[in-house]
Structure 1
Amino acid sequence: MERAVCNTTASVMIYDDANRKWVQAGNSAGVSRVQIYQHQQNNTYRVVGRLKADQSVVINSAILKGLKYNQATPTFHQWRDSRQVYGLNFHSPEDAENFSSAMLSALEKLSAPSRPPVPTTAPPQAPTQVHNGPSIQEEIRQRPPETQNQRTSSSSSEPPAL
């Protein structure tokens, strides 16, 4: 389930590397509604922009851990993914600040160490005894009777019977 964590208005730009200039994203120029979405179960984020005129998608960019986000001016921000360099030309400093705050928050959450799942507690078990050999009492009981007879006989003055 995704939820929008940011709603702004901006012109979405893509850097044209061949011509070394910024160009409007999409087939027609215009203002876009730009949102940052968070997928709550997967803890992933993406930027989605739709032209207000025809609702066509002009940007759908994943926000990944380690993404370099640059606030070039108070109203122009940019970042890069593996394919493109994106720019947002905001229509107001407030929109830029709103987007920047959400983007930096997403990057911070992605950089935070993930928490291990909460372990389920195992049912308590009865203590087990470890058997490390016979006790002294068991050892005496397990001795052959001759050994006990020999001890009692050896204490008397007569030699042991054969």
Structure 2
Amino acid sequence: MASELEGRNGSGSGNVSANCLVRVRAQVMVRDDSTGGWVPMGGGGLSQVSVRKRLTLIHNDDPHGTQGSHAGPSAPGAGGSNCASYTTDYQIYGKRLTDQFVVLSCAISKDFTYNKVMPTFHHWKSGDNKFGLTFQTSSDAKAFDKAIHSAIDDLFDRMYYHCGMRKQATY
């Protein structure tokens, strides 16, 4: 059973909390494989694009405290009668500024590939979908790139932790 967590964005939708890592303005693009080019998504127009970290609280109702006791510090009450843990995911979310129409909602998952092609144009592939952003400024592009890499690093760190592996730093 999941409980709602309040997010900084105040969306209050569903059983998740969404924390915004970055919020920038950009034109959302989609790859048109038939022409080999990039076209504006959802009719075009400038959008507010964010990278969001979503936490979902999961309650493990176990009266004997036998499940979830290994969850560690990310699970308040671990080892007690009502164990809880969190799942974390990241999402790229875009709303067109003129009418607040959602033009982009893309999960950052293990098959996510991100490319910084030019200072103000970045694109990525997630599953069979290919999206791109044309940023208004290079500082917006840099901030977005930093947030994407932070999300990817966090997801890989969690994957290593859950697999019982230690990530080794390379210098």
Q: What residue is the counterpart of 2:169 in the other structure?
A: none
- Return the TM-score normalized by structure 1: 0.68
How many residues were matched structurally?
116
Determine whether 1:8 maps to 2:14. no
Distance 2:111 2:161 in 1: 15
Give the distance between the partners of 1:74 and 1:63, measured in 2 at CA.
Answer: 21
1:108 maps onto 2:114 in alignment: no
Kindly report the root-mean-square deviation, in angstroms, between the aligned alpha carbons of the 2 structures: 1.6
Structure 2 portions without partners, runs of 5+: 1-16, 56-85, 164-171
Structure showing the higher helix proportion among its residues: 1
SS in 1 for 2:144: helix
- In the alignment, which of 119, 135, 141 is matched to residue 96 of structure 1? 141
Aligned pair 1:64/2:80, yes or no? Answer: no
Structure showing greater radius of gyration is 1
The superposition leaves residues 7-30 of structure 1 with CA deviations (integer Å, 9 ceiling, x where unpaired) of 00000000001121111000x221
Asked if 1:31 is matched to 2:78, the reply is no
Q: Tell me how far apart the structure 2 counterparts of residues 17 and 100 of structure 1 sit (CA, whole Å).
A: 24
TM-score, with normalisation over the residues of structure 2? 0.64
Q: CA deviation at 1:31?
A: 0.3
Give the 4+ runs in structure 1 shifted more than 2 A: none
Question: 1:5 Cα shift?
Answer: 1.1
Higher strand share: 2
